[in-house]
Amino acid sequence: MSILIDKATRVLVQGITGKTGRTQTKWMLDYGTNVVAGVTPGRGGEVVEGVPVFNTVKEAIAKTGAEASVFFVPPPGVKAAAIETIDAGIKLIVVITEHIPVHDVMEIREYAGDSDAQIIGPTSPGVITVGQAKMGIMPGNMFTPGRIGVISRSGTLSYEISINLATAGLGQSTVVGIGADPVVFTGVSELLGLFEKDDDTDLVVIIGEVGGIQEEKAAEFIDRWMTKPVVAYIAGLNAPEGKKMGHAGAIIQGDGRGTSQSKVAAFREVGVDVAKYPTEVVTLAQKRLKLTNT
């Protein structure tokens, strides 16, 4: 089924009655996503784009069998909504909302850690299993079905690189935008693990950015666990030096992690090809697939 979602996944939209929630529900339905319910507290009984709206997640699950949820909830409401959704037993939550206080993100992440819910985001463009379903805001026409998995810290670059891969005949299985907030719910390594086990994925593309140590940790994971080839691109390589990301990990280790140079070096050390520019991902992926197939 690729990873995380497929065309059968029964999707709930939280914050469905807002402007963005409405518009994006229409786009998700147009794409073929099985959107079965919406939730906005106090708006139960309404219908948006043919989708019934409920007051609570519990009610939505009881009436529709919803199993995954996408959030268009405004920042102040996200913490309560996430806890409600985890408690109700939803196993996959995709948080599109931007500007959620970092303390709330840490609280939600700790709460989710005690459950078996997988949360993607915040500030995620979403998750798309190409040709089947999407939970999020990514424009469907940027993606083509195929066998490349994409993990991206940037929404817009996941579109850019996917459409460039497609023009070279390399479609995608699932594309996941993890967001680039100081704290994210699900990191690159965890998704690499899912793609490694996925029968529909032959190669994984990681799209990183300066800051944080996601890429360095992913390199350790690749070295230890990945048999599938991985190609990476890091945005911000040519950015002039100046004020740096005040990243916690980098401070504590005191070892210079978090810079683009450190990310490129970590990847190259474990045999991951790193593209200098977005379109170079395409040639590197072609090269790696050819090598794998011969």
Q: Which residues are catalytic?
A: 247
Is beta strand 145-152 parallel, antiparallel or unpaired with respect to 126-129?
Answer: unpaired
The packing angle between helices 214-225 and 260-269, to 10°, is: 0
- Minimum CB separation of residue 272 from another protein in Å reads 18
Beta bridge partners of 134: 128
Nearer to another protein, 64 or 123 (CB): 123
**Considering beta carbons, is residue 61 or 148 the nearer one to another protein?**
148
CB of 223 to another protein, least distance (A): 17
Burial-class residue 59 by CB neighbours within 10 Å (0-12, 13-18, 19+): middle
Which is it for the CA torsion 99, 80, 212, 92, positive or negative?
negative
Which lies closer to another protein via its Cβ, residue 44 or residue 145?
145
| Contact between 237 and another protein per CB under 8 A | yes
Beta bridge partners of 10: none
Least CB distance from residue 97 to another protein, whole Å? 10
* Piece of the chain touching another protein by CB under 8 A; list 34-42, 53-61, 235-243, 266-274: 235-243
Tell me the closest approach of the beta carbon of residue 11 to another protein, in angstroms: 17
What's the CA gap between 96 and 24, in Å, rounded?
A: 11
* Contacts of another protein in 147-186 (CB under 8 A): 152-157, 159-160, 163-164, 167, 180-185
CB closer to another protein, 60 vs 112: 112
Q: How many residues sit in the footprint of another protein (CB under 8 A)? A: 73
Q: Over the range 160-176, which residues count as b (16 or more CB within 10 Å of their CB) and which as e?
A: bbbebbbeeebbbbbbb
Q: Report the site for another protein in 67-106 (rule: CB under 8 A).
A: 75-76, 96, 98-103, 105-106
